[in-house]
Structure 1
């Protein structure tokens, strides 16, 4: 005797629903509650004096300080890039003298506080009262009082730019060593010089690694320009301080400066996002699995 059974195909009897994640729901409610309490504390507290914030937000003094902050950031990052790239290449040099010089530069400027460097350049006249350029054992070509040449603006540019160069050098060096050595060997095999290899092969590939930390350093430089207020240079923070020292509206003026810094950082962050996406396009394409290619999933493939 043989037993047989017939199985008929049909719709699945069980439907799987996603489980509610109650801890996440509770956490979200708590976060929203905290944000609501913070917003209420900020906007219902008359001591913030938001009317004063609105009054001075677009004042001429604040906008002048804002422009000075932007200029200092641009110049410092430019100097840092112009000096940092050669320093990064020097760190990779086979010549020990060149390599140790670059290492010493990075060691010194990263090892001393930026505020100390800023005050040092501002007081450089105490060491060298007069700056003189002359032909060795010959006539003097140029001579000027140091205080005349090294103004607060020049002192700020020197301190910020030279300090930024040390950090840029390490960022670029990290990008250079991330490129496979086979790339440089292949370039040498086809007769490219070291400069051509660096410019056309290594740096374009290293940019994927360089851009994120360099953009972060640019954002950081934007904020640390506020240190120049200690040498009475009219940046954004100094302008806010000058106003609240006259009208004693300390908190509203600090809020004005803080909001402008946040806006500038937001703009730089958006730019960083698009730069990272641009330089990572080829890399992401290489990492894309073959099974994600529509052509590989067609019938008969």
Structure 2
């Protein structure tokens, strides 16, 4: 029995109508949360250190190398229902958070590298002069100390379910909230099946689930929806303020369904948080070059 079946069975056993359980389950996601492992815990990858690159491959970024955030062994990761990660191989994450914050989206400042299983790899040599490479605003070293990470699967719900607040949501969401007469009980089933245990707050890497909204920045989907509506205006479409807000809400709802958070992580900086997004179909086809990065302020 997978986790969705486990949830449906538990909710229906509590007398909640099956159709309502199904509509709620469409907004229940499962994510992989990773954090520094302890002795005896199975490692699934690393944060920091030096990456294992295919033999002969240049450090991503070329003449302007990108800091290495971390990597995961896809075969070692616990399986999360609905998250179409590769069954094997490795995913490596690179990000220059300061440069990325200034330009959304820009493939020059971030990279996801997929290394298929069986590829001959080697520990990469540090880029030349890496000791002198620091960030503009903060004295952060280019190389991050290595930490081995372990992981588990955790459930996640959209913000409008968590907060029971759809005031500024799309019309489809408002209608669904009206239809979910047992939303409190359904959230309770999720909490009973998978108690939180506080690990959300110590996670150093999250794969899948929903985008976190941190600090003063808009979350990535809000930024993407704003840009989409602004592009319509730039193309000559005349929109009232109310219409712009309505379109932005509808667009954000669509983007949340379409673009998954492939990786979310705190950076070495106290004020930057990284988020890599990828369409579900691109993830299924291993098109990691289609990733979009949205770095956020934490304050």
TM-score, structure 1 as length reference: 0.19
Higher share in helix: 1
Q: Which has the higher strand share?
A: 2
TM-score by length of 2: 0.19
